[in-house]
Structure 1
Amino acid sequence: MSPSGETSPSQSPVTADDLDLAVQLAVAVLREAPPAAWDDKAGSLDWDCWETVEHLSDDLFAYAAQLGLRTPPLDREVPFVYESRRPGGPANTVHANRKAGPVGLLQVLEASAALLVAMVRTTPPQTRAHHVFGVSDPEGFAAMGIVETLVHTHDLAQGLGLAWSPPADLCSRVLARLFPDASSSTDPWPTLLWATGRGELPGQPRLTTWRWHGTPRS
Structure 2
Amino acid sequence: MTTPQDVLLSVALARETLSGVPDDGWDRPAGTLTWSCWEVVEHAADDLFAYAGQIGVPDPPLDAYLPIAYHALYEGGPESTVFVGRPGGTLGLLRTLSGCAAMLAGAVALAPPERRAYHPYGISDATGFAAMGVVEVLVHTFDAAAGLCVPWTPPADLCRRSLDRLFPGMPEHPDPWETLLWATGRLALPAHPTRSEWRWDGRPLPDRT
Q: Same fold (TM over 0.5)?
A: yes
Q: Which residue does the alignment assign to 1:91? A: 79
Identify the match of residue 26 of structure 2 among 23, 33, 38: 38
| Residue-by-residue CA offset, 1:99-122 (whole Å, 9 max, x unaligned) | 111111111111011100101111
Aligned mates of 1:179, 1:126 — CA distance in 2: 21
**In structure 1, the residue corresponding to 2:121 is in which secondary structure?**
coil
* Alpha-carbon offset, residue 36 of structure 1: 3.0
Q: Name the count of aligned residue pairs.
A: 206
Does residue 6 of structure 2 align to residue 18 of structure 1?
yes
Q: Which residue of 2 aligns with 1:10?
A: none
Cα distance in 2, alignment partners of residues 184 and 120 from structure 1? 30
Once the two structures are superposed, the pairs formed by residues 122-201 of structure 1 within 5 Å of their partners are 122-201=110-189
* Higher mean C-alpha displacement, 136-145 vs 21-30: 21-30
Matched, 1:116 2:97: no
What is the distance in 2 between the residues matched to 1:35 and 1:76? Answer: 36
List gaps (5 residues or longer) in structure 1.
1-12
Distance in 2 between residues matched to 1:185 and 1:40, nearest whole Å: 32
Q: Is the 8 A contact 2:156 2:176 kept in 1?
A: yes
Does the 8 Å contact 1:37/1:159 carry over to 2?
A: no
Asked if 1 retains the 8 angstrom alpha-carbon contact of 2:48 and 2:104, the reply is: yes
CA distance, structure 2, for counterparts of residue 130 and residue 202 of structure 1: 35
Cα deviation per residue 1:182-212 (whole Å; 9 max; x = unaligned)? Answer: 1243310000000000001001121000000
| Aligned with 1:107 (options 95, 101, 110) | 95
The one-letter code of the counterpart of 1:202 is: P
Structure 2: runs of 5 or more not aligned = none
**Is residue 205 of structure 2 the alignment partner of residue 217 of structure 1?**
yes
> 1: CA distance between counterparts of 2:24 and 2:37?
11
SS at match of 1:206: coil
CA distance in 2, matches of 1:14, 1:68: 17
Q: TM-score, normalised by structure 1?
A: 0.92
Q: Tell me which stretches of 4 or more aligned residues in structure 1 moved more than 6 Å.
A: none
In 2, the alpha carbon distance for the partners of 1:173 and 1:101 equals 32
Please state whether the residue corresponding to 1:37 is helix, strand or coil.
coil
The aligned amino acid for 2:89 is G
Q: 1:60·1:112 contact (CA, 8 Å) conserved in 2? A: yes
- What TM-score do you get using the length of structure 2 for normalisation? 0.96
Deviations 1:119-162 (A, max 9, x none): 11111111000000000000000000000000000000011111
Contact 1:42 1:159 in 2 (8 A): yes
3-state SS of paired residue (2:56): coil
2:138 aligned partner, one-letter code: L
Provide the C-alpha distance between the structure 2 equivalents of 1:216 and 1:111, rounded to a whole number of angstroms. Answer: 26
On the 8 A contact 1:56/1:152 being kept in 2, the answer is yes
What are the equivalent positions in structure 2 for 1:67-82 lying under 5 Å apart?
A: 67-82=55-70
How far apart are the structure 2 equivalents of 1:66 and 1:184? Answer: 33
1:27 equivalent in structure 2: 15
CA distance in 1, matches of 2:90, 2:2: 30
